[in-house]
Structure formats: structure tokens, C-alpha cells
Amino acid sequence: MKGIIYTRVSSDEQVKGTSLESQEESCRAYCRDKDIEVLEVFREEGASAKTADRAQFLRAVEFCRKHKGNIDAFVVAKVDRFARNTEDHFYIRKILLDYGVTLHSISEPIGNSPVGKFFETMLAGSAEFDNAIRTQRCTDGMAARIQHGISPWRPPLGYVCANSKKHGEKKTEPDPPDEKIFPIMQRALKEYAKGMCSQVELAGLMDKWGLKEIRGKRTLPQFIDKLLGVHLKFYAGILVNPWTGEDVPGRHRPMITQDEMRQIILVRSGKSYKKAPHDRCNPEFTLRRTVLCTSCGTAFTGSVSHGNGGGYPYYHCRNKNCLMFGKGVKKKEMEDGFMVRLAKITPTKKFVAVLNESLMEVWREKGKHLTDEANQRAQRLADLEAKKKRIYEMREDGSYTKDEFTERKEEMENQIAAEKISFSETKIDQYDVEALLAYSDKFALDLGRQWFDLYAQPELRLRFQKLVFPEGITYQRGQTFGTAQMGRIFELNRTFDGQKSLLVPLSGFEPEFRG
């Protein structure tokens, strides 16, 4: 009987030890006892235990093929040395059987007998289970490090690898930047984000900045493609969990911001990057767009002029063709003047009292009408519910067939649904109108103070200004604010002569005619 011996270890540490030698010695002793002539020994040093994709193992199988009919035994120390994947095990074993070769384990009772096949199946499954457990532990460990912001793998170019694995340690700190390469790559990524150069041009720039000298080779476009693709998230400070696809903030120092990363993605896709819209509601210059230039009617804008003493905020006309262009107005001067104008148009207490009385009359009149309508709809809703109940009773006493009942029930449910919607629209919530008007009094009687207090809420300030001056208000540099169209309430206050008649709605004249 002739055979071959296959020995395997799965780590460099085992290669340096006695595992391979002890396996071969034991296998040779087994062959002598079984009268097997050893034709060849195949040694697998430091190969993976996960698959059958191993160089020496495949050479051994190929040796059996070439010497088909002359090889009888494939000898291993243990079944898990043969393969640690059940599918691989039986696939390769079938191939060997086709060559007339039988698998022999020197330490386990396997063979072609029923008992031997049973033990072989169990041992192959056990090897796969052991390998799966090891894989799961490794995966869980790597996933845990990712969740803590540490990449368990070798970092991309631009960072220094700690080589913890070679020292038999686990990585506990993020990869530090490479002092020489990091600034070059950071500069390159930021340059590409501007959309001003191609990948080929970027490669040339990086070599010009010193990358070629450091790496000892020219930077190719393929390298740039990988730089801008596979590793881009890492450079933006993001780690990707490969098992869940989740993005996790990394603890390593990013080269670029996430906004720059998105710019790069858009540039690579051939699209221009859309910047976030400019915030038109500038909290420092809330009167811009409300105050208009007297000369040209263009809305004022604001800016800060910087000098030795710091920043000096100004409002100014933005129309380059205007005579007032470039002639700024101090921010404090304009805003103080605006508060003075608000004080002048603040409604009088008498006007507010009359206005409140008129509003209460309108509320009572409109409220009574809506209440009556809601009561009518509530009664109709009750009538429909009663009809629906009778439909069910007629089904029970046999007056309606099943089809007739279904049709009438659905028809009635549709009517009820429509009536409920109408009822909800006419139902009046019980507002405390007196309290609401009391609050509006306090607001309307001190416009300047209300505007000043809205400093921290620029959007509300802008709405306030729109309410008071819907079309804006002009301002003459060196003088003051001009006349302007005001909101309805403030116009009524301006023309108020103490008579309530001006505030009463024109009931009975519909539509209203303007002469």
C-alpha cells in the first residue's frame, strides 16, 4: 500500500514550534504500522484553517490525481488538519475516493465502514463548529473595537499602524497620523473637494508635494481612485461596521470634514456640490430686507468692517449703481432710530380698548353662528347613528338579505363619516378670548420693547417687521426713516378719531365696493 502524508499548522507561532515535526513523525509511525509506503510529505506552514484553498493541500490532491491508481492512503494527524469546513471535507474526500485514495486519521477511528463514516461526519462537523466559534469570537471582538471608535484593521495610507497583532496584543488606541504623509493627503483631498482638478491631475500634485519621494514610487490614478472611494469615510473620521453596515464615529484624527467628504462624492459623480442655502435671516442684521434705500428702493444689507479696534457693523445699500452704494449707516444708529419709529406708531390705550370691544362683539356674533351650526350637525349625526342601528335590526329580523344589509350599512357609514368631518370643522373650542386680548394689549402697547426682546429670535423679528411694515420702510442716510405703508391695525390707529364706527365690520354690504 502506498500513500502520502499531509501536515498543517494555522499560525506562524506553530511553525516555529514542533507541531509540523511532531505531526510528520506520528504520521510516519502510523504508516509503518499499517505497512504504508510514504511517497511524499506535504507541509502546510501557517495556512488558514477556514477553507480548502491551501497551496500544499492542493498540491497533495493534484499528486493523487497524477498518480491515480498508485496512491491508496491520504494520511493526516487529525480530521481537522484535513479541512475545517464540513462541505470542503466531504467534497475533497469524494475527489480522493474517485482517485482510489482513502483518508486516514492517525488519532481518530474513521474509515469506509458505517461506524467509521459516522465518526468522520461527527469529527468534520466538530472541526467546523470549532472554527465557527473562533470566527464568531474574533468578529465580536473586532465589532466591539469598531463601536469604541477604533479600527481593528491596518489603517489606510496617511496613518501609522501600531502592529499590535505582531506583538500578540489587541489594538486599544486609534491609529495616529503619519507626520509626513498625512498633511500631503489632507491637502490633496481638500483640493479635490473644490472640483478644480481631475484624478490624474491630483496624482501629479501629490507627487509634486512629496508623496513620490516618501513612498519611493509614482502615484497612479488607480491609487487616487481607491483613496477617493474605499477609504474616503475613514479619512472623514467614520468607521464602517462591515457586518451591519452602520457608520460609527472614529476616534482617529480625520483628514477632512464630513461636508468635504460629501463634496468629493458629488464631484466624483459629475455633479456640482450644492452648498447649504445662505441664511437670509442674519441675527446680527435683522433690519436687512425691511429697510429700503431712499435713493433706489433697494433693500439694505449688512456687513462688518474690521479695523484695529475690532469689528464695526454697518447697514448699507447693495445696489452698485446707487449713489448711496458703499455709504454705510452704523448698525446701532439705524436700530435705535427704528425703535423710535416703533414708539411713534404704537397704538394708544384708547384705540386698543375700542378695538378689543369690537373684536369681542365679532367673536360673540361669529361664535354663536358656529355653535348653532355645530348643534345642527350633532343632531344630524345622531339621526344617522339611529338609522344605522335600525339597519342592523332589520338584518336581524330578516327584512334585509346579507347583500342588501351590506350595501345599506356601507352607504350609512359613508354618510356618518362625512357628517363627522363637517361637525369637527364647525365645532368651536372654548378659547379664553379675554386672556388672549389681555396679552395682545401688552404686546401692542410697547412695540419697541417687543422688537428689542426678539433679538435672540431673528425669524420672529423678521415676521414682526413684516407685520408692522408689509412693504418695508425707507431710510435716508444722515436723516431718519421715511413714511411707509403699515399693517392694517396700525393704519386704523393712525386714522382713529375716537369713534367705534370705524372698527365695525361692513355687514350687509357684500361684496364690498371701493369708491
What is the structure's pLDDT at 511? Answer: 39
Asked whether the beta carbons of 490 and 306 are under 8 A apart, the reply is: no
The single residue listed with the C-alpha cell 491609529 is: 175
- Average pLDDT of the segment spanning 76-103: 73
Is 438 a residue whose pLDDT tops 80? no
DSSP string, 396-431: HTTSS-HHHHHHHHHHHHHHHHHHHHHHHHHPPP--
What is the structure's pLDDT at 279? Answer: 53
What is the structure's pLDDT at 29? Answer: 92
Asked whether the beta carbons of 221 and 200 are under 8 A apart, the reply is: yes
DSSP annotation of 277 reads P
pTM exceeds cut of 0.75 = no
Is 16 a residue whose pLDDT tops 60? no
The single residue listed with the C-alpha cell 496512491 is: 71
Class of domain 181-268: alpha beta
pLDDT band at 209 (very low <50, low <70, confident <90, very high): very high
Write out pLDDT tens, residues 162-172.
Answer: 765 555 566 77
What is the structure's pLDDT at 95? Answer: 80
- Average pLDDT of the segment spanning 232-250: 85
Domain locations along the chain = 2-136, 181-268, 279-346+446-484, 349-443
Question: ω before 511 within 30° of 0 (cis)?
Answer: yes
Locate 271 and state its grid cell. Answer: 455633479
Is 276 a residue whose pLDDT tops 50? no
Is 3 a residue whose pLDDT tops 90? yes
Write out pLDDT tens, residues 170-200.
Answer: 677 888 999 999 999 999 999 888 887 888 8
Find, among 171, 165, 172, 184, the residue nearest to 235 by Cα: 184
Is 257 a residue whose pLDDT tops 70? yes
Write out pLDDT tens, residues 339-370.
Answer: 888 888 888 888 888 887 877 777 777 667 77
Kindly state the percentage of the chain with pLDDT values over 90: 11
Write out pLDDT tens, residues 380-419.
Answer: 889 999 998 999 899 888 888 888 888 888 888 888 877 8
Give the C-alpha separation, 266 to 261, whole Å.
Answer: 9
Helix%, strand%, coil% for the chain, nearest 5: 50, 10, 35
Write out pLDDT tens, residues 463-506.
Answer: 888 888 888 888 888 778 888 888 887 888 777 766 665 554 54
pLDDT band at 116 (very low <50, low <70, confident <90, very high): very low
What is the structure's pLDDT at 165? Answer: 54
The mean predicted confidence, pLDDT, of the chain is 77
pLDDT band at 110 (very low <50, low <70, confident <90, very high): low
**3.30.920.30, 3.40.50.1390, 3.90.199.10, 3.40.462.40: CATH of 2-136:** 3.40.50.1390
pLDDT band at 207 (very low <50, low <70, confident <90, very high): very high
- Average pLDDT of the segment spanning 144-172: 74
Kindly state the percentage of the chain with pLDDT values over 70: 75
Find, among 373, 292, 371, 302, the residue nearest to 331 by Cα: 302
Strands (E), 279-391: 291-293, 300-307, 310-317, 329-330
The single residue listed with the C-alpha cell 431710510 is: 475
Q: Among the ranges 3-12, 17-26, 62-71, 127-136, which has the highest mean pLDDT value?
A: 62-71
More confidently predicted of 253 and 459: 253
Dihedral sign for Cα atoms in the order 73, 75, 79, 81: negative
What is the structure's pLDDT at 343? Answer: 86
What is the structure's pLDDT at 69? Answer: 86
- Average pLDDT of the segment spanning 206-213: 92
Pairing of strands 238-240, 247-249: antiparallel
Torsion angle (degrees, nearest 10) of CA 109, 111, 117, 122: 40
Q: Which of 75-79, 381-385, 439-443 has the lowest mean pLDDT?
A: 439-443
pLDDT band at 211 (very low <50, low <70, confident <90, very high): very high
